[in-house]
């Protein structure tokens, strides 16, 4: 869940004068591969998260805290996915849309990072209460929707506050290459040389690691480990499936975000010492690869947290049937047939009669 930038660590115009001047131009072949990867991520993330939002708006009522968290996670992921094509375009065309767009697009990543990760931690906490503390929490579930909306408001407020440094200090600037002929237009965090700016320069990546990864990871590990213990002791035919879901959630979360955050930690530590050109080029290449892996989470969230549940799958099938029936009735009415009507009627009946549930997912 991280963008092509902001890159807090490039040797930009505000860095110390004694840092070796490097040619950090990206290989064109790498740019092409990265563009295709990000385009696929954008397409799948857009479809998956729109389906989640559409399901909650038209087919499924928000009855639990997890329902409220899920639709907010989908909105957070959509914020990033919708910004991603504009980021790709501007990166490859020297940011022609200007400074304001530069700030907004970089801030879209930060909002997605903080809100999305904190909401995933909230989902794990709610699942812990619903499964491990089921008896104690039974009476409090009636007021759960009110609490969940308050928590979501707090999460979005926190994410907005943590995004302010990115919004304020991100800027569009021009930088000459080593041959003094080519001009590169960049959109990154730019800091002055005063002590406050230097502190913020180190604080931003530290906050990203602490609140955008380590805090949600700690909460998820604690909650899901207790859930696993409870499920193992439970005498239920669905427990093995539920355990696999828990393991999948944790493996995907760690697999997507750990590589990038390890690289981010290495870059943060490098801010305190002088860096060589070869090491800087290698680190930026690793950072680009791990960022692309982190992007995948916005595509996988709908699968892990929504469509893995049988109720959501039935709603998804109903969406497909409704779109098919709508197209046959209004777009291609001349081609409609008795078979099409039968499909629409049977789909409606199966949707109304579906009472399946999942032992873990919403």
Q: Where are the domains of the chain?
A: 28-296, 309-362
Residue 318 φ/ψ region, left for φ over 0, alpha for ψ in the -120 to 50 degree band, beta for the rest: alpha
pLDDT tens track, the chain, 362 positions: 433 333 333 434 444 444 445 666 667 777 788 888 889 999 999 998 998 888 888 887 777 888 899 899 999 999 999 999 998 888 888 888 888 999 999 899 889 989 999 999 999 998 898 888 877 665 565 677 788 899 999 999 999 999 998 898 888 877 665 555 566 778 887 777 777 777 777 788 888 888 989 999 999 999 999 998 988 887 766 667 777 888 888 889 999 999 988 888 887 777 666 666 777 778 778 888 898 898 898 888 888 877 777 677 777 778 878 877 877 766 666 555 544 555 565 555 455 544 444 445 44
- The pLDDT of residue 266 is 81
Relative to beta strand 183-189, strand 170-176 is antiparallel
pLDDT at 1: 40
Residue 14's pLDDT is 44
Asked if residue 46 lies in contact with residue 82, where contact means CB atoms within 8 angstroms, the answer is yes
Determine the length of the chain: 362
First to last CA, the chain: 23
Give one DSSP letter per residue of 184-219, joined into a string: EEEEEE---SSHHHHHHHHHHHHHHHIIIIIHHHHH
Asked if residue 6 has a cis previous peptide bond (ω within 30° of 0), the answer is: yes
pLDDT in tens, 102-150: 999 989 988 998 999 999 999 999 889 888 887 766 556 567 778 889 9
- C-alpha dihedral, 31 to 33 to 36 to 41, nearest 10°: -100
Angle at 167 between CA 164 and CA 170, to 5 degrees: 135
CB–CB of 186/14 below 8 Å?
no
Q: How far apart are CA 222 and CA 208, in angstroms?
A: 21
Q: Alpha carbon 194 to chain centroid distance?
A: 33
Question: What's the pLDDT score for residue 237?
Answer: 65
Report how far residue 316's alpha carbon sits from residue 318's, in angstroms, rounded to the nearest whole number.
5
How many other CB atoms are found less than 10 A from the CB of residue 303?
A: 15
Q: In whole angstroms, how far apart are CA 71 and each of 49, 209, 356?
A: 9, 24, 20
- In sequence order, which residues have a C-beta less than 8 Å from that of residue 199 and are 6 or more positions away? none
Superfamily of domain 28-296: Rhodopsin 7-helix transmembrane proteins (1.20.1070.10)
Give CA–CA dist 223/233, Å, rounded: 16
Give residue for tokens 């699942």.
127
Q: Which of 242, 213, 219, 244 is nearest to 113 (CA)?
A: 213
Residue 146 CB neighbour total at 10 angstroms = 11
Structure letter (DSSP) for residue 142: G
The tokens of 174 are what? Answer: 């021009």
State pTM to two decimals.
0.81
Cβ-in-10-Å burial (0-12, 13-18, 19+) of 28 comes to: exposed
348 Cβ contact list (under 8 Å, min separation 6): 321
- Alpha carbon distance 267, 5 (integer Å): 14
């Amino acid at each position: 869940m991280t963008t092509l930038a902001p890159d807090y660590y490039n040797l930009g115009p505000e860095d110390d004068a004694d840092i070796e001047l490097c040619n950090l131009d990206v290989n064109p072949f790498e740019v092409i591969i990265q563009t295709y990867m990000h385009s696929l991520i954008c397409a799948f993330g857009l479809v998956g998260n729109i389906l989640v939002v559409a399901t909650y708006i038209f087919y499924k009522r928000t009855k639990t805290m997890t329902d409220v968290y899920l639709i907010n996670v989908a909105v957070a992921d959509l914020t990033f996915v919708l910004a991603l094509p504009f980021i790709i375009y501007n990166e490859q065309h020297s940011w022609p849309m200007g400074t304001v767009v530069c700030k907004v697009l970089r801030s879209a990543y930060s909002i997605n990072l903080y809100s999305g990760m904190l909401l995933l931690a909230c989902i794990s906490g709610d699942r812990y209460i619903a499964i491990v503390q089921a008896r104690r929490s039974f009476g409090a579930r009636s007021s759960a929707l009110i609490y969940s909306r308050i928590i979501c408001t707090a999460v979005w407020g926190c994410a907005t506050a943590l995004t302010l440094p990115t919004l304020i200090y991100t800027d569009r600037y021009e930088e000459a290459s080593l041959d003094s002929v080519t001009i590169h237009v960049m959109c990154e965090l730019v800091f002055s040389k005063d002590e406050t700016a230097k502190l913020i320069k180190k604080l931003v990546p530290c906050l990203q690691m602490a609140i955008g990864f380590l805090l949600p990871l700690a909460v998820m590990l604690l909650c899901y480990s207790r859930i696993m213990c409870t499920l193992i002791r439970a005498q239920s035919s669905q427990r093995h499936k539920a355990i696999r879901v828990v393991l999948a959630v944790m493996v995907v979360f760690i697999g997507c975000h750990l590589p990038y955050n390890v690289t981010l930690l290495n870059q943060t530590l490098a801010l305190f010492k002088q860096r060589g050109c070869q090491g800087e080029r290698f680190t930026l290449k690793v950072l680009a690869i791990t960022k692309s892996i982190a992007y995948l989470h916005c595509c996988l969230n709908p699968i892990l947290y929504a469509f893995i549940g049988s109720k959501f799958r039935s709603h998804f099938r109903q969406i497909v049937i409704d779109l098919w029936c709508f197209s046959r009735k209004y777009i291609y009415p001349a081609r409609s047939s008795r078979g099409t009507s039968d499909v629409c009627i049977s789909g409606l009946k199966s949707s109304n009669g579906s009472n399946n549930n999942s032992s873990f997912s919403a």
